[in-house]
Amino acid sequence: MRRVVSRVTLVAIAGALLAVGVGCATPPKPRELQALETLRATNQGKLPEVAKRAPDLMAEADRRQAAAHDNWQSNDLDESRTNALMAQIKLKTAIALYDQDQLKAEIQSLSGQQGQAEEELAGLGKDLASEQEKVALLQKLVDGRKSAEADKQRLSQEMSSEQQKAKVEQERLSQQLASEQKIGAAQLALRTADTVEAMHYAAQDYAAAGDLLAKAEAALKQGDYATAQTSADDAKKSADQAAAAAKPLYEKAEESSQNKARNEALARDAPGIPGAKVRIDPHGDLQRLVIVLPEMFSRRDPNIAPGHDMTLDAVANLLKKYPSYPVQVVGYTDNRGKSGELMAISAARAQAVYTALVERGVETKRLMVSGLGGEDPFVDNRSASGRAKNNRVEIVFLYH
Amino acid sequence: MTRARRFFGVLAIGCGLLGPLGSGSARAGEEDDLQRQIDTQKASVADLERLDELKAVTDEIARLKSWLDEAWGLRAKHEYDQVREVLDRALKQEDLIRAQITVSKLRDQEQRREAALKLTKEKIAHTRKQLQETTDKKKSLEKAAQ
């Protein structure tokens, strides 16, 4: 029983000692005080500056923190909390005032920087606007030049194209003109061939020329100038050949025809000469139209007897009317006298007529003068009248 | 007993009788006064909440409110000294909150200024780049125009 009592006593004593120990130990730090210490630690770097800005608040905070700490140490937790809270408030207020100053300074600095930046921006904006204006002008200039260059190039191309077209058209026209000229030349050659009646005298070449000309004209209409020119050239060639071949034949025929007509005209006109007798003496190929001028001279006189001017005028006019004929002026006598004398007289008579005709405008080069004396009497010399008639001059037109 | 003794004896008895009456009247006045102070500070809290446009000090305002509630509770328990202590703290807290609201507004202003400055600097950089490009283009065009 005593052992039980002593055990209970021991436990009671130990409990009492524990209670006393617990009661004497430092209590846990109040949350407010811990928060204050954390606040200080967080702002440790700037607290010296904060103290300069708000010394009273900082001093009060310090004082309150110290008190809170003491209160805590002395186990007066309520008072410790109260002081810690007040210290927090003072410290926070001091920090806030410090922050306000810092922020104001920063804002002022930022305002200054903003002003400078805006000034710089305005300057840059002005420079940029100026440069952009210059660039716009330059761009306009360059664009204008490019546009002008493009226009020039375009116009050049257009001009080149037009020139090309014009050249082609010119070439075409040139070809057309050349073709037309060649066709014209061929037509002319064909007409020329017509003038010598090549259709008759060179029918083959003429027909070929006509066909080729038709071919050339057809090719011209179709614009086939090469064929047109070739055909025209060939046509001309054929026409020329036809003309060349036909010409001598034609001329011969024509000359013959003309001569015939002229001879006929001469034969019609010659008898119109007063006092003259006309006859035609064919001598092989050569024809002779003889105009006899009888009784123009006295018996031995080489001079033309008066009263024959009309006859001489008519003869001169006839000679001039037919200028292409070579003409013989041949003097004659009757048969009485010596042959040499008669020859001289007849020649003198021919010369007298020649002179009279030349005086009337007849070309001398056409006239051939000769005297045949008493040869080839015109009429019989046995009668006086016959002899008078044989004293004569004959104007002989010679032709084929 | 002397006359003086009698006088002080009567005065002591008078004080003993009137003391509780005077003490009760003063306590009622003090309670009203504290209530007015609490009401005034509660009204200030609304102002502070309105001022705190950026909601930067909501914790501090909440703490202030809790202290005012605590003061109100203490007033109901007639713990006037503690009420005064809490009200004094609340008053300082109100000053702190105003200072911190100012800080928040200044910080916001600073941030906006910084943002504006940053924007302006970006514009400067952009404009400078544009200017350089324009100058290069101008040189190129001048060469082309020659």
DSSP state, residue A28? P
Residues A233 and A284 in one domain: no
Residues A243 and A281 in one domain: no
Asked whether residue B20 is domain-assigned, the answer is: no
| A135:B138 CB<8 A | yes
Residue A207: give the domain boundaries. Answer: 159-249
Domain end: A216, A249, A282, which one?
A249
Residues A367 and A277 in one domain: yes
A85, A121, A132 ranked by CB distance to B124: nearest: A121
CATH number, domain with residue A306: 3.30.1330.60
What domain count does chain B have? 1
Asked whether residue A113 is domain-assigned, the answer is: no
Asked whether residue A123 is domain-assigned, the answer is: no
B106, B117, B135 ranked by CB distance to A113: nearest: B117
Asked whether residue A287 is domain-assigned, the answer is: yes
Contacts with A107 from chain B: Cβ below 8 Å? 106, 109-110, 113
Closest CA to A298 of A341, A334, A351: A334
Asked whether residue B110 is domain-assigned, the answer is: yes
Asked if A129 reaches chain B (Cβ–Cβ under 8 Å), the answer is: no
Shortest distance between the Cα of A45 and any Cα of chain B, in A, equals: 19
| B109:A117 CB<8 A | no
Given a contact cutoff of 8 angstroms between Cβ atoms, the answer to whether A275 and A392 are in contact is no
Asked whether residue B126 is domain-assigned, the answer is: yes
Tens-digit pLDDT profile for residues A281-322: 887 778 889 999 988 888 788 899 888 899 999 999 999 999
Asked whether residue A346 is domain-assigned, the answer is: yes
Asked whether residue B23 is domain-assigned, the answer is: no
| B134:A131 CB<8 A | yes
Amino acid at A241: Q
Domain end: A215, A249, A283, which one?
A249
Asked whether residue B9 is domain-assigned, the answer is: no
Residue B90: give the domain boundaries. Answer: 28-145
Whether ipTM tops 0.90, in short, is no
Tokens representing residue B18 in the block:
């009137």
Classify residue A30 by burial, with Cβ atoms within 10 Å: 0-12, 13-18, 19+: buried
In sequence order, the β-bridge partners of residue A290 are A279, A396
Nearest-Å Rg of the Cα atoms of chain A is: 79
Q: For the CA atoms of B75, B81, B85, B88, what is the dihedral angle to 10 degrees?
A: 80
pLDDT tens over chain B, length 146 residues: 444 444 444 444 444 444 444 455 566 788 889 999 999 999 999 999 999 999 999 999 999 999 999 999 999 999 999 999 999 999 999 999 999 999 999 999 999 999 999 999 999 999 999 999 999 999 998 888 88
Given a contact cutoff of 8 angstroms between Cβ atoms, the answer to whether A300 and A393 are in contact is no
For residue A286, give every residue at least 6 positions away whose Cβ sits within 8 Å of its Cβ, in sequence order, or none: A398, A399, A400
Closest CA to A399 of A261, A278, A306: A261
Residues A202 and A238 in one domain: yes
CA–CA gap between residue A9 and residue A17 (Å, rounded): 12
Given a contact cutoff of 8 angstroms between Cβ atoms, the answer to whether A380 and A367 are in contact is no
Q: State how far the alpha carbon of A114 is from the alpha carbons of A107, A120, B108, in Å.
A: 10, 10, 16
What domain count does chain A have? 2
In sequence order, the β-bridge partners of residue A385 are none
CA–CA gap between residue A156 and residue A251 (Å, rounded): 62
DSSP per residue, B50-77: HH-TT---HHHHHHHHHHHHHHHHHHHT
Shortest distance between the Cα of A6 and any Cα of chain B, in A, equals: 49
pTM score: 0.51
Asked whether residue B58 is domain-assigned, the answer is: yes
B124, B137, B144 ranked by CB distance to A120: nearest: B124
Report long-range pairs for B35-39 (Cβ below 8 Å, ≥24 apart).
B35/B75, B37/B87, B38/B68, B38/B71, B38/B72, B38/B75, B38/B83, B38/B87
Asked if A109 reaches chain B (Cβ–Cβ under 8 Å), the answer is: no
Asked whether residue B52 is domain-assigned, the answer is: yes
Asked if B25 reaches chain A (Cβ–Cβ under 8 Å), the answer is: no
Asked if B135 reaches chain A (Cβ–Cβ under 8 Å), the answer is: yes
Residues A245 and A282 in one domain: no
